[in-house]
Each structure stands twice: as structure tokens, then as C-alpha cells.
A and B are shown apart, each in its own frame.
Chain A
Amino acid sequence: TQLLEQSPQFLSIQEGENLTVYCNSSSVFSSLQWYRQEPGEGPVLLVTVVTGGEVKKLKRLTFQFGDARKDSSLHITAAQPGDTGLYLCAGQETSGSRLTFGEGTQLTVNP
């Protein structure tokens, strides 16, 4: 089973600040997905990155897949209180359809 290390586990910042969340593995994934999960709900997909070196932007969120497809980052610019939530990375293994999740980053953006 492949492992994904996500950091930081907790992040508390002020509105307007920038932040980056990291997802690292020693294994190669066929794709990597970022989810956001609200309390009492299931994860909701934000983005999927597939190609090594790929960068995707979703408004103030920028997602990057490492060249070797072993790591990824989520960068949020000018964070807002509405960005508060649990962010999860998940890698799709090269053999099969299962997703391996990171432990999540609980982000709190204070007004």
C-alpha cells in the first residue's frame, strides 16, 4: 500500500495571508486529487492532476503535481474565512482504482 504524507496537519492564519499545503510520497501515483471535507460530510473533489509538472488553478487555489508524480502542493493566495476547512490529498495508485488519502490539513482562516 502506498503512503501519502500531508503537512502541515493544522494551520491557522489571518485573512489575506498565503499558505501552502504539501502532500509527499515515495511512490508514484497515476493521478492526485485534492478534496475539501466539511464536518459531517463526505469529501468533495476540488481538482485532479494527472501529468507530472501539471499546474491547475481554481480561483485563488493553485495545485501542482510534482514532475515525478510523487508529490503535490496546494497554494492558497489571500486566504479568506470561507476557505476554512479540512483539505485532503489523495493519490490514485498506478495498479488499480483505490485512492490513498493523506491525513488532511485542518485550515482555519481568522478574520
Chain B
Amino acid sequence: EPEVTQTPSHQVTQMGQEVILRCVPISNHLYFYWYRQILGQKVEFLVSFYNNEISEKSEIFDDQFSVERPDGSNFTLKIRSTKLEDSAMYFCATQNTGELFFGEGSRLTVL
């Protein structure tokens, strides 16, 4: 069964450091999303990406965040200068026209 794969599964970083989370979408999918889930809280939308540009972003997705699809396959989320409150599970999700498929998530711990 096709799946969305995310790396790393867990990253520990110091506050102020840059972090890049990577996602390999299902091959024929066109729509890409990042969601995050802070421990004990609900899953929150960050950004959606289609046709090589951001189609929608939330209030959380400020200037510290960026997304790109540099090589036509990987879909990345970059946090430029991490803060303690960025500690969360980050989920990539991809979609063709129907079901949204989530990856297993990348756990980010900011110390």
C-alpha cells in the first residue's frame, strides 16, 4: 500500500537552530500539507502546497516557517530559528483528489 514517509522520526535541537523536516509524498499526489500536534493538544493545520506554491497557511505559519519541494519529490518544512514552543509532532499529509494520507510524523524536541 502506498504511504507517506517522513524523516527524521525524531529530532532534538537547541533553541535557535534551524530544522528541516522531510516528507516523501505518495507518487501521484498533487496536494501537500503540514500539520502539527503539540503533546496533549489537537492536530493543527500549518500549510497547504499545490503546484509548487503555498495555497493556504495558518496563523501559526509565520516567517520562521517555510516549505518547498526542491527536487520534485521531497516536500520539506523548514523552521529557521526554533523556539521551545515549536516542540511537537509534525505530520506531512498528501492527497490526489480523494483521501488524505498522513505520514507517521516527525517528533521535534527543542531544548
A101 and B44 within 8 A (CB): yes
Which positions in A face B, CB cutoff 8 Å? 1, 33, 40-45, 48, 88, 90, 96-104
Which positions in B face A, CB cutoff 8 Å? 4, 31, 33, 35, 41-45, 48, 55-56, 58-59, 91, 93, 99-105
- List the A side residues contacting B102 at CB < 8 Å: 42-44
Q: How far is the CB of B102 from chain A (nearest CB, A)?
A: 3
Q: Check A41/B105 contact, CB under 8 A, given A97-B31, A97-B56, A98-B56.
A: yes
Indicate which residue in A33, A42, A103 contacts B91 across the interface (CB closer than 8 Å): A42
16 residue pairs bridging A and B, Cβ less than 8 Å apart: A33-B100, A42-B91, A42-B102, A42-B103, A88-B43, A96-B48, A96-B55, A96-B56, A97-B31, A97-B55, A98-B33, A98-B56, A100-B45, A101-B43, A103-B41, A103-B42
A89 to B50, CA, bound (A): 24
